[in-house]
Amino acid sequence: MHLGRVIYGKTTGGLHKKRKAAPFRMIPRENWIVVENAHPAVKTPEEHAEIVTLLESRRIQPKLARRGTYLLSGLLYCGKCGYSLQFQPKPDGRTLVKKCQKTDAFGNSCTNRGIELEHVEKAVMESLREHEAELLKTPVETGTSEIPTEHLLHTKEKELESLRDWVNRLKDLYVMGDVTKAEYKTRLERLKDLIVKKENEYEQLKESLDGCSPLTHAERLQLIDELKASWTTVIDVKERNRLMKLIIERTEYSRNGDEVNIHVKYR
Ligand SMILES: [Zn+2]
């Protein structure tokens, strides 16, 4: 797009089950409609090539990184049998989702064919946008579960800080002769007890946050925002994959001929 080129007809139809759109189909590359100079180019093709080379050179161990992680790593499953699907990088830089490798007890292999990963990623992003629109339509739950844990965690952190501060101040008082040794000892013990208690509370709270507590409305929206931002900037694909896993539980892909079905299940 930055080259001023617009491509029409890569795919047709939609993935929306509710809105009875035409079925999602892929159009062969030779039938794409490519319009050069459809809008003013932001950069020349030469500049584009230069930028791509620069970005490539900045990557650490590009081959390793590319082999290891994809946007949908660990998230893509066969819509026909539920088996996890594998990716296959091509020498020209494209990536394929391999045909389902599952065979049943009788040696019959699953009929789900492969697809270019690009199409699946595009569909998933489209689904994310719809998910976002749905979230924005739903009123934010008020009161109880809206980020209080995060807030509480911060408060506990502050309390711990000030308790530790007190230990230092107590030491100063003792050194300056403002408190007796006995007084110093009892007050120090009391402070230490309090610190241990607060530390435990803090750890418990943190565990409940890291654990299976469901995402709040605001957290979901923030994740989608981050993902959308990562789409247009050069962010490590591993980081993008991490974000995806935070909001998406699994994505199922199935294909019958050119008809493609992609279902995204959110956390
Ligand atoms: Zn399968």
Q: Is the pTM of this model over 0.95?
A: no
Contact 146, 205 (CB under 8 A): no
Residue ranges with strand state E in the chain: 6-8, 11-12, 25-26, 33-35, 76-78, 87-89, 95-97, 115-116, 248-256, 259-266
105 C-alpha to ligand 1 centroid (Å): 14
Please check whether residue 221 lies inside any domain of the structure. Answer: no
86 C-alpha to ligand 1 centroid (Å): 11
Is residue 233 domain-shared with residue 192, that is, in the same domain? no
65 C-alpha to ligand 1 centroid (Å): 27
Is residue 101 domain-shared with residue 35, that is, in the same domain? yes
Residue 6: predicted pLDDT: 55
Q: Which has the closest alpha carbon to 24: 262, 260, 264?
A: 260
Could you tell me the CA-to-CA distances from 241 to 5, 11, 76, 188, 248 in Å, in that order?
28, 24, 12, 48, 10
Residue 61: predicted pLDDT: 43
Check residue 195 and report its DSSP letter.
H
72 C-alpha to ligand 1 centroid (Å): 17
Residue 254: predicted pLDDT: 92
Is residue 110 domain-shared with residue 203, that is, in the same domain? no
Contact 241, 226 (CB under 8 A): no
Tokens of 250: 């699994």
Please check whether residue 219 lies inside any domain of the structure. Answer: no
Q: Which long-range contacts (CB under 8 A, 24 or more apart) does 16-20 make?
A: 16/130
Is residue 209 domain-shared with residue 100, that is, in the same domain? no
Please check whether residue 93 lies inside any domain of the structure. Answer: yes
Pairing relationship of beta strands 248-256 and 259-266 according to DSSP bridges: antiparallel
Residues 117 and 123: their CA atoms lie apart, in Å, by 10
Q: Which has the closest alpha carbon to 252: 41, 82, 73?
A: 82
Please check whether residue 1 lies inside any domain of the structure. Answer: no
Is residue 11 domain-shared with residue 107, that is, in the same domain? yes
Map tokens 């996890």 to a residue: 84
Is residue 44 domain-shared with residue 114, that is, in the same domain? yes
What is the chain's pLDDT, residue by residue, as a tens digit (267 residues)?
Answer: 555 555 555 665 555 444 445 556 666 666 665 655 555 555 666 766 766 666 655 554 444 444 568 889 999 999 999 999 999 988 888 889 999 999 988 888 999 999 999 899 989 988 988 888 888 887 665 544 445 666 677 778 888 888 888 888 888 888 888 889 999 999 999 999 989 988 888 887 777 666 555 667 777 888 888 887 776 665 677 888 888 888 898 999 999 888 888 999 988
107 C-alpha to ligand 1 centroid (Å): 13
Please check whether residue 240 lies inside any domain of the structure. Answer: yes
Is residue 141 domain-shared with residue 162, that is, in the same domain? no
Please check whether residue 22 lies inside any domain of the structure. Answer: yes
Is residue 139 domain-shared with residue 19, that is, in the same domain? yes
Residues 121 and 60: their CA atoms lie apart, in Å, by 24
Residue 8: predicted pLDDT: 58
**DSSP-assigned states of every residue in 61-119:** SHHHHHHH--TTTTTEEETTT-PBP-EEE-TTS-EEEPPP--B-TTSPBP----EEHHH
Is residue 160 domain-shared with residue 230, that is, in the same domain? no
Residue 207 CB coordination number (10 Å): 10
104 C-alpha to ligand 1 centroid (Å): 10
Is residue 176 domain-shared with residue 116, that is, in the same domain? no
29 C-alpha to ligand 1 centroid (Å): 26
Residues 123 and 23: their CA atoms lie apart, in Å, by 13
Q: Domain of residue 110: give its range.
A: 6-145+226-266
Residue 137: predicted pLDDT: 82
Please check whether residue 218 lies inside any domain of the structure. Answer: no
Which among 183, 213, 243 is the end of a domain?
213
Is residue 98 domain-shared with residue 136, that is, in the same domain? yes
Residues 116 and 142: their CA atoms lie apart, in Å, by 43
Q: In the chain, how many domains are there?
A: 2
Please check whether residue 107 lies inside any domain of the structure. Answer: yes
Is residue 92 domain-shared with residue 138, that is, in the same domain? yes
Buried-exposed string 49-88: b where 16+ CB fall within 10 A, e elsewhere:
eeeeeeeeeeeeeeeeeeeebbbbbebbbbbbeeeebebe
Residue 157: predicted pLDDT: 85
